[in-house]
Amino acid sequence: MATQLKTNAMVDSDCTKEQYWKLIKSVCASCFGEAHYPHSRPYTYVEIGVASARTFNTVAPLFDIAHAVDIGDVTGSIDPTLLGRTTVHVCTSDDYVASISGIGVEHSAPALDCVFIDGLHTYDQVMADFRGVFPYVREGGLVFLHDTYPADARHLDPCLCGDVFRATETLRRDYGHLAEVLSTPADFGVTIVRKMGIDAPYVHWMKRGPGE
Ligand SMILES: C[S@@+](CC[C@H](N)C(=O)[O-])C[C@H]1O[C@@H](n2cnc3c(N)ncnc32)[C@H](O)[C@@H]1O
């Protein structure tokens, strides 16, 4: 009982924003190392739902090209040193997804290396965002979904985590054969999806077995 109480009490404060960003940056650094991710640069980052750009300004510096997608104009919040390589899309995520359909997988290689989904906090919208961008994520690339681990019922408020947590189960069910999926409680939940494919050597090794 004591452990449970302690856990509940710690949920809000157990992982600071800095630790959460460190987690995201560490996952990116490990997955996008040259040995595991043999794509030629430029590496491209997309953030859906940017707000005051706190995450964007922390994660986007790891990439060569960045896209900031928000229904509001977030230009003024973006670190000026990033503006030269950032495209700001003032639109809904649905409109952004529609705009990238021109780089369809049938016509050219998927172009996105990392997507952070943190726009409208509903299950339906998050799944629409995921389904929209996933075909354009390179093999071995990452998709992060925020707010997938509400601390308690209070956090199911649409202004907080909403019902985004439901997406994790759907991702495992519908994309489990195409991606690795891991959820952590960090900062009210970050779910990490790593697209599998023949170009990702680690996955390649597991499929074929050692020595083959
Ligand atoms: C929780 S905030 C994003 C926080 C930010 N990712 C961060 O970590 O600092 C959500 C943002 O999503 C934007 N948003 C809401 N609905 C959206 C939609 N349908 N398409 C794109 N952005 C949306 C809001 O304007 C808001 O700025």
Q: Detail the DSSP E strand segments found in 93-164.
A: 112-117, 137-146
Evaluate whether residue 1 is within a structural domain.
Answer: no
Evaluate whether residue 10 is within a structural domain.
Answer: no
Evaluate whether residue 9 is within a structural domain.
Answer: no
Evaluate whether residue 161 is within a structural domain.
Answer: yes
Range of the domain at 122: 16-33+40-72+79-208
Of all protein residues, the one whose alpha carbon is nearest to atom 5 of ligand 1 is 50
Among the listed residues 98, 100, 64, 94, the one whose alpha carbon sits nearest the alpha carbon of residue 82: 64
Identify the CATH number of the domain in which residue 115 sits: 3.40.50.150
Q: Ligand 1 center to residue 199 CA distance, Å?
A: 32
> What is the model's pLDDT at position 36?
75
Evaluate whether residue 28 is within a structural domain.
Answer: yes
pLDDT in tens, 81-136: 999 999 999 999 999 999 987 654 444 556 899 999 999 999 999 999 999 999 99
pLDDT in tens, 161-184: 999 999 999 999 999 999 999 999
Domain count of the chain?
1
What are the pocket residues of ligand 1 if the criterion is a CB atom closer than 6 Å to any ligand atom? 47-52, 54-55, 69-72, 92-93, 118-120, 125
pLDDT in tens, 8-67: 444 555 789 999 999 999 999 999 987 778 777 789 999 999 999 999 999 999 999 999
Evaluate whether residue 7 is within a structural domain.
Answer: no
Evaluate whether residue 5 is within a structural domain.
Answer: no
Q: Which pTM value belongs to this model?
A: 0.89
* Cis bond upstream, residue 185 (ω within 30): no
Give 33's Cβ-side CA count (13 Å radius).
Answer: 9
Evaluate whether residue 159 is within a structural domain.
Answer: yes
